[in-house]
Amino acid sequence: MFMADAQGTFTMVNAAYERLCGYPAEQLIGKLRFEALHDPAELAMRREELIAPPVRNAIELAGTPFTADQGMETDWTYLRSNGSPVAVTLALTRLADHAGLTVGYVGMAFDHVSRKGVQLWHLLHHDPLTGLPNQDLLEERLETTLQRSRSTHEPVLLVLLELDNLRKLRDTLGQPAADTALKQVAARLKRLCGDNHMLGLMHNTLFGMVSSGRNTLPADFGATLLAEVSRPIPFEATMLHLSASIGVSSFPAAGSDPRALVQRALLALNAASRAGGGIMRHFDFGLQAQSVRRNHLEVLLREAVQAQRFTLAYQPQIELRSGRITRAETLLRWRHPKLGTVGPSEFVPVAEDLGLMNELGSWVLEAACQQAALFLAKFGNSPSLAINISPTQLRDRKLYGLVASALERWNVPPSCIELEITEGLLLENTRQVIDTLQNLRKLGVEIAIDDFGTGYSSFAYLAHFPVDRIKIDQALVRAISSVKNGDAIIGAIINMAHALDIKVTAEGVETAAHARRLAELGCDEAQGYWFSRPLTAQALENALTPFSWEENPPP
């Protein structure tokens, strides 16, 4: 290796360079230009090839191999001090200041034996599919950039971009499709990053970008990155569609440890993914607090599931024609002795990530069947108890057996249980899901679609799925009075559902006017705070018990 000043005069050579050319350092430094070692005849014909493009900042090259896109890399002939020729590969990079003026050169010269070592190094530090630096090399460059920032006081930015659905694409269309998508995305990101970011592939779905001189990623550039990833990719006779999420952290705001910088970018990335993906999040210390709480929740939730430390609440569903309680939705509740009440919106996603939903769902099924058995024993009948079924449970072929066994164990008629599934599951339309739903209906269990009208609402799906009931989302219910033609939309949904022999329940009914208008439109049932908040099992039992003045005389 050697370094030279702006005129090309040697300023430093290492021992390996001395051995290669046969000149001691004192005969090179300050006395010869690096051109002087070339075969004069060859140099006369190819001198222009020694003029290399500049890089943005010299210090960023520390520990970095000089590849074709970071200067010039070509084969030359050196003349050693004794006049003998030696074939070398010369990697030369011109260093420039921010004004573009040359400040010096960095060169590396390899004979053929050394060249093999460099090739091996390249294989060990680059992804073979995309050619991008791998995690080891990118983290090395990140540490080098951080070292420089401590002396220059320039901020350092780390951007992590993860492909949200590459694994699903691989499972659906195979490895060639995933490889094509990854190579195309890498090429697009490399073009967008240019000299402003050092781009690498951390692992199969995670790209990393390092840059200095900034502590935030502009929103428009983040949007451009996401848009480039989502642009369709041609593959054989189809088009591949990807999406991504972005997490960003910076130094000095996130600390000087490269591992801390990576960890905090991952926290921001996970927050973006949990928010639905396709967005960018910058790290803030609130995310770190959330991460600590989530890690704590994971430990406590495992213990709670194992010890079955949950309860059920019940929100009545009212038949609008008669005013009777005909159904009740079961709502999972968790109250921890130290944390207090933890809402399902917080702990259910954690349970899904931990793979606990089947175990948790089985407990809910058993508890609901047990409660239905108690109602049957006291009243001779029971409202139908609606149980929310997660996508994980529905995809499990054991679901039918679990439901049938629970009903038999508690001696509960299937009509006492209703299973609610999310609207998005209609899109899967897999044979296994359809068979499971059909078998459950044959058993006598009713199937409901929850939150209808917020996602991929289509009566074409309902015509092919075994569905007994749809539950209109509360956002549509509120539109009755707040949106032009809101009641016409609700009325059309009710009429089309009835045409398919599907009943309709309205969710989130909070005013008498909404309840009255839903009844006028022919809605079958409703639930919401206008009728009742979620009740304990005892409170629901009280609501179902016929009241007698003789048994309960007034004071």
Pairing, β 280-282 against β 325-336: unpaired
Residue at which a domain ends, from 88, 103, 125: 125
Q: Is residue 116 located within the same domain as residue 147?
A: no
Cβ contact 364:312 at 8 Å = yes
In a domain, 270, yes or no: yes
Structure tokens at 177: 């499709």
In a domain, 293, yes or no: no
Q: Is residue 143 located within the same domain as residue 117?
A: no
Q: Is residue 331 located within the same domain as residue 391?
A: yes
Q: Is residue 121 located within the same domain as residue 142?
A: no
Q: Is residue 115 located within the same domain as residue 151?
A: no
Q: Is residue 17 located within the same domain as residue 66?
A: yes
Distance in angstroms (rounded) separating the CA atoms of residues 140 and 144: 6
In a domain, 41, yes or no: yes
Range of the domain at 277: 135-283
Count of the separate structural domains present in the chain? 3
Q: Is residue 186 located within the same domain as residue 206?
A: yes
Residue at which a domain ends, from 283, 317, 348: 283
In a domain, 450, yes or no: yes
Cβ contact 209:201 at 8 Å = no
Distance in angstroms (rounded) separating the CA atoms of residues 498 and 439: 23
In a domain, 77, yes or no: yes
Render pLDDT for 203-232 as a digit per residue (tens, 0 to 9). 889 999 988 878 788 888 889 999 999 999
Q: Is residue 437 located within the same domain as residue 520?
A: yes
pLDDT tens track, the chain, 555 positions: 999 998 999 999 998 899 889 999 999 999 999 999 998 888 888 777 776 444 433 333 433 333 333 456 778 889 988 888 888 888 888 887 777 788 888 888 887 555 556 666 667 778 888 888 888 888 888 887 887 777 777 888 899 999 988 888 887 788 899 999 999 999 999 888 877 778 999 888 999 998 887 878 888 888 999 999 999 999 888 888 899 999 998 877 544 577 888 888 888 888 888 777 888 988 877 666 666 777 778 888 898 888 888 999 999 999 999 999 999 999 999 998 888 888 888 888 888 888 888 999 999 999 999 999 999 999 999 999 999 998 888 888 899 999 999 999 999 999 999 999 987 666 655 678 888 888 999 999 999 998 887 655 566 667 777 889 999 988 888 878 666 677 888 898 899 999 989 999 999 999 999 999 999 999 999 999 999 999 999 999 999 887 555 555 656
Distance (Å) of CA 290 to CA 95, 297, 506: 44, 10, 34
Looking at residue 289, what is its pLDDT?
A: 65
Catalytic member of 228, 507, 510, 541: 507
185 — phi, psi (to 5°)? Answer: -65, -40
Looking at residue 42, what is its pLDDT?
A: 84
DSSP string, 342-403: E-HHHHHHHHHHTT-HHHHHHHHHHHHHHHHHHHHHHHS--PEEEEE--HHHHT-TTHHHHH
Q: Is residue 121 located within the same domain as residue 140?
A: no
Cβ contact 55:70 at 8 Å = yes
CA nearest 471: which of 534, 518, 417, 537? 518
For residue 60, give the CATH number of its domain.
3.30.450.20
Say whether 507 is catalytic.
Answer: yes
For residue 178, give the CATH number of its domain.
3.30.70.270
In a domain, 299, yes or no: no
Q: Is residue 19 located within the same domain as residue 167?
A: no
Looking at residue 553, what is its pLDDT?
A: 60
Looking at residue 48, what is its pLDDT?
A: 76
Looking at residue 47, what is its pLDDT?
A: 79
Looking at residue 68, what is its pLDDT?
A: 30
In a domain, 460, yes or no: yes
Q: Is residue 216 located within the same domain as residue 144?
A: yes
Length of the chain as a residue count: 555
In a domain, 551, yes or no: no
Q: Is residue 396 located within the same domain as residue 484?
A: yes
Residue at which a domain ends, from 65, 99, 125: 125
218 — phi, psi (to 5°)? Answer: -55, 140
Render pLDDT for 315-357 as a digit per residue (tens, 0 to 9). 999 999 999 999 999 999 999 888 888 888 888 888 888 888 8
Looking at residue 310, what is its pLDDT?
A: 92
